[in-house]
Amino acid sequence: MSATNTTTQPPVTAAPQEAAHLLAQGDLRWAQARPPQWRERELALPWPHDLLVAFSLRMATHGMSLSRSLMLCDRRYALQQLVDAHSLDDEGLRVLAVQLFRHFQARQSRLGSSH
C-alpha cells in the first residue's frame, strides 16, 4: 500500500507574498492603535564650527559620543550636552561648554529682541 498525502500546501512563492500582506496589516493595526507621540524639536541655533568640533572631540575623550547633527537641530539635546560637559571633571571642557552656552544666550537674546 502506498501512503497518500491528502493535505495540500500552497506553492512556495505564495508564502512570502502572504506573509508580507499579513505583516502590513499588523503594522497598520499597530499604528492605528498607538496615539501619536510626535515631539517637535526646537531648533538649536548654529554653533561656531571650530568650537563645536573642539567640544565634540573633548567630550569623546570622556567616552561621551556627541551628535553634531543633534546639536544643530535639537535645542534640548544641545543644552543637555552642555550640562553634562559642565558636570565632568575637566576644566578645559567646562570652558568650552561655557563658551557655547554664552554663544547660545547671545543668539537667543538677539532673536527675542527682534520679535
Say whether pLDDT at 97 is over 80: yes
CA distance 59 to 50: 14
76 — phi, psi (to 5°)?
Answer: -60, -45
* This prediction's pTM: 0.58
Q: Show the DSSP H helices in 1-115 as ranges.
A: 14-33, 49-60, 68-73, 75-87, 91-114
Mean pLDDT rounded to a whole number for the chain? 76
- 3 state SS for 14-28: HHHHHHHHHHHHHHH
Summarised one tens digit per residue, pLDDT across range 44-82 is 567 899 999 999 999 999 999 999 888 888 888 999 999
Give domain limits for the chain: 49-110
More confident residue, 44 or 108: 108
- pLDDT band, residue 25 (cuts 50/70/90): low
